[in-house]
Amino acid sequence: MLKEKTTPKRLIIEDQTFKFLRTRVYDPVSIYSSRDAFLRIGKHDLIRKELQIHRQLLAHGFPIPEVLREGEIDGQYFYIEKSVGTSLLTYLFSEDYKKYGNISNRNFSTFLSLTRQFAEAQLSTATTKKHDKDFYCGIYMNYILDDFPQFKDELIEAFNKITKRVSAFPVVLTHGDLNPHNILPKGIIDFGYVFNGYAGYDLVGNIYQIYLFPKEGNYESIRPYGFTKKQFDTYFKAMDNIYSGNGYPELSEYQDDFMLAKTIWAAARIIGKPKIQKWRFSLLEKITLDYLDSKPIIETVKKFPS
């Protein structure tokens, strides 16, 4: 297993020097960068599987980096992808927020354009085959029931209601963690957790995931930006047009369902952030009970107290 403490801080491959960035928390894949490329390296089976999915996504037209080369070094497998930018949108959004109090039109337009491309490409992977077990695992239901056992019955009931409603959409290849922290100005990255999930889950989580951090308070992390009502309206109008144009229901009508699923995912498997975890458990409990009572939850998510 590739552990950070034994990971080389630099790798040289064909005279190109890569600097270590990070090792993923839940699997032994390390990421390095050079001026114009990124390298992913780890166990053969993990990297080959990820590379296979990467090429499948490219074939469907997802806005993701081009693969430049692959190979083996020091008993591990790697592949190198072309850089699609140097600053994640989450950092660009945060800088906008500090300067202007909102996300700039320019950076929001980049976000929306890439999301549109993603949404169209994702629908091209649609299947009518049901994958509720994959969706169950993909949103970490198996973990949240262990992490929050006192709320097990309500969560299972809520999951069953979610899947019954969102089955109006096809099953597609799902990123699992689509959000501005995995989007660069020219493409989307980090497809290491792809699973078969319902179309719409990624897209709702993409714009709302930032609201799964408290706005203020003594927490390990706080929310550095937010979207305006106009930006939310613009985003969901664009997604609704794509979905209705492909013969599916408008996504905006299913925001509550997918947001509850995303909150389940976000409350599970939290390492090293007990304050955030406690806050998310409180949020999850509140919106689950409201959802089961057929009450709207989106505004609660946006305004949940710190």
List, for residues 142-170, the tens digit of each pLDDT value.
999 999 999 999 999 999 999 999 999 99
Pick the CATH number of 4-82 from 2.60.40.10, 2.60.120.10, 3.30.200.20, 3.40.190.100: 3.30.200.20
Pairing status of strand 187-188 against strand 183-184: antiparallel
User: How does pLDDT run across 190-218, given as a tens digit for each residue?
Assistant: 888 899 999 999 999 999 999 999 999 99
Alpha-carbon distance values, 61 to 42, 58, 65 (Å) = 26, 5, 11
> For position 4, what pLDDT does the model report?
44
What fold, for 89-303?
Aminoglycoside 3'-phosphotransferase; Chain: A, domain 2 (3.90.1200)
> For position 177, what pLDDT does the model report?
96
**Cβ 236 vs Cβ 257: under 8 Å:** no
pLDDT above 70 covers what percent of the chain?
Answer: 98
> For position 28, what pLDDT does the model report?
82
The predicted model scores a pTM of 0.92
Mean of the pLDDT values across residues 131-144? Answer: 96
Q: How many CA atoms lie within 13 A of 217 on its CB side?
A: 12
pLDDT band at 24; cut points 50, 70, 90: confident
User: How does pLDDT run across 50-81, given as a tens digit for each residue?
Assistant: 999 999 999 999 999 999 999 999 999 999 99
Range list for CATH 3.90.1200.10 in the chain = 89-303
